Amino acid sequence: MATLTEVIFYSLIGGVFSLIGGFLLISNKRKADLLSTYATPFAAGALLAAAFLDLLPEASHVGDIEKALGFTLVGILAFFLLERFLRVFHHHHDHDDEHQDEAPASMIIIGDTLHNFIDGIAIASGFLIDVQTGVVVTLAVAAHEIPQEVGDFGLLLKKGLSKKSVIKVNILSALASTFAAGLFYTLGDSVDLDLSIVLGIISGMFIYIAVSDIIPSIHKHEENQIAGPQTILLILGAIIVGTVSSYLHGFIDNEDDHNHSHSYINNDQERI
């Protein structure tokens, strides 16, 4: 079982540390655009792998898989409706989208803060299962957040905010992830939550972001290519996160088996 300190630490990685993309935009727009272009498809693969190869299998271990899949659908529909009411909820590549340009800075900040808050809940949910699941979720969240922050910084700068103000606002917004992670982990550790429901909803969020937002952007950028760089990076993201998930779970399981065997031998020696 993870500790609250570990949850706070990893949520900072998933939230505040992911602001590196925004800082890069301020110092070098060209490099930031390249980061956004190529990190975003990687994030899509990471999110899909985290959902299908880690969260949903874990949901089957802690509860009813049919219930988890049902709430995955609920998660997809809920985030679709949320995006309908809050159009700035996602903004990866399409920085010139007319709806985003029309949105006031306050709505952009609210949307980003809400997104970070939900990311914190996702990270905490992973750590409520075990440390390795929490690490995989953090990796997927960070991969998704780094290029997204490029969009957040760019939109707020376009609205006329100073670089200093944009940095302050985004740091405070990113801390919503840490706050949510600590709060939800503490709640989940003290209350009997049905984690299969939570993992299903988080899986729905990850799938929705990847499939409705990022993948269409890849189609748009590579409409004349069968497998361009972004397509390759999407597949690479899925392979890397899937491999990390498999390794972490296998490593912990082997450690548990070793400790169990060692304890069994010690008990036998004590009886002798």
pLDDT for res 89: 46
pLDDT for res 101: 52
pLDDT for res 264: 42
- Tens of pLDDT along the chain (272 residues) come to 688 999 999 998 877 777 877 787 777 778 777 777 888 889 999 999 999 999 999 999 988 999 999 999 999 999 898 887 766 444 444 444 444 455 678 888 888 888 899 999 999 999 999 999 999 999 999 888 888 888 888 888 888 888 888 889 888 998 999 999 999 999 988 888 889 999 999 999 999 999 988 888 888 888 777 778 888 999 999 999 999 988 887 765 555 444 444 444 455 555 55
pLDDT for res 85: 75
pLDDT for res 260: 44
As a whole number of angstroms, the distance between CA 91 and CA 97 comes to 9
Query: Which residues are CB-contacts of 98 (< 8 A; sequence separation ≥ 6)?
Result: none
pLDDT for res 270: 52
Amino acid in the structure at residue 185:
Y
Instruction: Locate the domains of the chain by residue range.
Output: 4-271
